[in-house]
Structure 1
């Protein structure tokens, strides 16, 4: 009897802890960057739109999202509150999620003349 209970307990724990995160778990949510250069930036994403804000410098970027696969998407900038200085509207960035962790993803982005690898951390609901 003790062995049966132990076995059931073990199977339940293995099942709970073996559920790995996947790219699709990060399609929506609130994110921050781990890179200190982007410490002021917050990202809010739903299935079709991403809003990036830097409250310190009063910058807001909006982009539509076209999901190519669960791990790859294209951002097309649709609005920038400082567009007269930076003609970014209509520009595209290709993004690939190259590594999935428990509460973050590492993305590789290419566009606007740059190629970056950044880690985005999913903010927990409060």
Structure 2
């Protein structure tokens, strides 16, 4: 009986170690180009936009307004966006984007203004 309990404990420890090392696969390159819908929630309000990205340029429609962004990928899962035609100081700020997880046709991301520690999260769905 003592022998079975000992193996059960070792089995649980091994299972814990293996699952704690689990690293979810991210296929970020699947989302460098295409048409997308984005959703994020800020202070309890949901915001939705649509955009098309061709690796280095992103054209986004948000609340009827169209903006064009220069996109610079820093690695396969992170990029910086800069508004090409900013209309005010806020729009001049670059935005750091990080893809956290991916699925077949969507990803979860985290973003903030470059240099800002306050981060927000959202999801993107590929439309094509």
TM-score over 0.5 (shorter chain): yes
CA shift for structure 1 position 90: 3.2
- The counterpart of 1:77, out of the listed 62, 83, 99, is 83
Question: Relative to structure 1, is the Cα distance of residues 46 and 88 closer, same or farther in structure 2, using a 3 angstrom cutoff?
Answer: farther
* C-alpha RMSD of matched pairs (Å): 2.1
Q: Which residue of 1 aligns with 2:112?
A: 110
State the distance in 2 between where 1:88 and 1:46 align: 24
Using the alignment, how far apart are the partners of 2:64 and 2:39 within structure 1? 20
Q: How far apart are the structure 2 equivalents of 1:107 and 1:47?
A: 17
In structure 1, stretches of 5+ residues that fail to align are 1-19
Corresponding residue for residue 33 of structure 2: 28
**C-alpha distance in 1 between matches for 2:91 and 2:26:** 33
Structure 2: gaps spanning 5 or more residues: 1-24
